[in-house]
Amino acid sequence: MNEKILERIQWLRETLKKHNEAYYVMDSPRVTDSEYDALMNELKTLEKENPQWDDPDSPSHRVGGAVLSAFKKVRHTIPLLSLDNAYNAEELRDFDRRVTKEASARVAYVVEYKIDGLTVALRYENGRLYRAATRGDGYEGEEITENIRTIRTVPHRIEVSEPVEVRGEVYMPKDGFVRLNEQQELDGKEPFANPRNAAAGSIRQLDSRIAAKRPLAIFIFDFIAGTESLDLDTQHAAFEYLHKLGFETAPSRRFEDIEGVIAYCNEMISARHNLPFEIDGLVVKVDDFETRAVLGTTSKSPRWAIAYKFPAEMAKTVINEIRVQVGRTGVITPLAEFTPVKVAGSVIGRATLHNQDYIDEKDIRVGDTVFVQKAGDVIPAVVRVELSERPEGTQRFVLPKDCPVCGTPTVRREGEAALRCVNPLCPAKLRRLLIHFVSRTAMNIDGLGEALIDGLIEAGYLDSIADIYALKEHAEALKQMEGYGDRSVEKLLTAIEESKNNDYYRLISGFGIPLIGEKAAKTLAAHFPTLDALIAASQEELVAINEIGDKMADSLVRYFESDDVLKTVERLRDYGLNFSTEQVAETGGVLSGKTLVATGTLEHYSREGIKAAIEACGGKAAGSVSKKTDYVVVGENAGSKAEKAEALGVEILDEDGFEALIGTTEHRDKETF
């Protein structure tokens, strides 16, 4: 039996590694997300049950888990030097003249993307990833091994037995950056200023589970040490070998002279906007390693490389107005409206000013002449004010003390930069909530766009999300609205009716609970098979879930304590929305309304298996014992949970007792011999 389990674990590890490479490196996925998740969940369960076969190289370590109290300092074996910069063609030619003079010969160059991310060093010993560290000051950095392990394209093993160190850049792709900021705003959090800040902040999380959720990637672009036995003599050859070892490398070009380099640099000034990631320049390196050794280094930088920095792509414009908008979580965001200008290939006319601290730091005022750019070539941003052109009489801008929509006094919570309207009935919050509720990440109701929502609010038909399901009572009035006829109204009402049968997690997401996005909603729906069970969940029960933290749990509890929320829930129930998982609907619900905790090693069930069995019978599988627990299922080495159950008077069941309770053995997922 043990041999079969080990074989299965090894098969799962190799299969998942191949799927990772296909998805993240080759951009050609072989399985669906659900199939991948099923394999990963099986592997995690088997590894948890068989810790003697733990392997740090396992794909399961990509999901994070280690929580550090602080980062350890790491002394780099070889200093990670910075590069001198060149800003134009003449400075590149000066660099070439210095190189050819010192080398006493013409040289070839390799040109790489200058990724705008966080520089890291990865050390491998006996072929295994041993340690990863940030660049720091070049001589000493911080150990981030657990976080680096979560990046899918970082190989945990390479086919080199000698100690090897490589240098790379952790970055965040543009589309991932946009998605992350959308989620930040959805959760009522401050968005990141640019992809570099997002990448750096993500890789330096003490909790690697947070890093694992962020869309991080890495390019490896050099060997730092350990190449003596690899017989590599050029940068071009090093790139090929890095790729062969399984590292993802950025595209590079080789040129026989500096004029070819200059032409390429000029070409990339505009072409860089088409890349899926942000680069702020190009790195020019002498290709030949022997020539590099002759050229040597200064105390700060190598003499054989230089960074060509793209000219800053900013535009000058004038701020005509600063207005504020209220988000669905009540966050009040200032927005600068300026004379439209073209930046990075598109025309922009507005940019978020984030919060009062951002405005004060840059002293941004209406009437100011400012420079704007796109952070990460994506997000419009005001970079700085041209104070010499400030008109007389401008006034410092201050966010309102009262909500501009409902007049409720605004609040700035301790430790937050955001200002909020805390009125749950604020019309602006209602509008944003309605827009969110019908969106693709929530109830996905086609035909109910922003313009129609605005019209329905103004007409008095929408005062809450529950009113969406009463729109059929106003069908004739809807047909009279501009742009809507019989057919479009019928399609809209059909989409609304069909949304009642959506997966239960979509409703949780649609509520717009602060800090609870689509992914958290799926997690909650998996642990609480009915909305009623979720509403009744305690703070303790919520934080026992692996992906639900204290702040998220607190937000959930506070949300469902609201009488207005509970009234809305009852209206949605009356309209017939799905309030439960399919599992409960398909079974007799023997455990409906019951909370069970499983502890210890069970003979016929894995950890995931007993949880699935409980939920399949309509019950809730909790992670901790409380007064609300109905049964505790115990196996060998049950430990403190069984003791707590006994102290609280909670009924304790062994496996036979559990199966007698549910009346079946069909949910077993372990074989016994």
CA pair distance 244, 66, nearest whole angstrom: 30
Structural contact between residues 214 and 396, judged by C-beta atoms closer than 8 angstroms: no
Structural contact between residues 373 and 355, judged by C-beta atoms closer than 8 angstroms: no
Within 8 A by CB and 6+ apart from 175, the residues are 215, 276
Alpha carbon 98 to its chain's center: 45
Backbone angles phi, psi at 119, to 5 degrees: -75, 135
Half-sphere exposure of 506 (CA within 13 A, CB side): 17
Query: Quick one: tokens of 432?
Result: 């944003």
**Edge-to-edge strands, sheet with 305-309:** 85-86, 305-309, 279-286, 109-115, 252-255
Structural contact between residues 75 and 121, judged by C-beta atoms closer than 8 angstroms: no
Known catalytic residue at 114? yes
CA pair distance 133, 140, nearest whole angstrom: 9
List C-alpha distances in Å: 259 to 89, 92, 109, 288.
Answer: 9, 9, 11, 18
Single-letter residue type at 632: V
List C-alpha distances in Å: 110 to 239, 246, 284, 368.
Answer: 10, 21, 6, 44
CA torsion 557→558→562→564, rounded to 10°? -100
CA pair distance 118, 94, nearest whole angstrom: 28
CA pair distance 63, 50, nearest whole angstrom: 18
Which residue of the set 114, 174, 611, 620 is catalytic? 114
Within 8 A by CB and 6+ apart from 518, the residues are 441, 442, 505, 509
Structural contact between residues 176 and 378, judged by C-beta atoms closer than 8 angstroms: no
Of 450, 448, 454, 451, nearest to 472 by C-alpha is 448
CA pair distance 532, 521, nearest whole angstrom: 14
Secondary structure, 3-state, 372-425: EEEECCCEEEEEEECHHHCCCCCCCCCCCCECCCCCCEEECCCCCCCEEECCCC
Of 552, 166, 99, nearest to 303 by C-alpha is 99
Long-range contacts at 142-145 (CB < 8 A, ≥ 24 apart):
142/71, 142/72, 142/73, 142/74, 142/204, 143/71, 143/72, 143/73, 143/74, 144/71, 144/120, 144/203, 144/204
Helix (H) or strand (E) holding 633: strand 631-634
Query: Quick one: tokens of 477?
Result: 């009035």
Residues involved in catalysis: 114
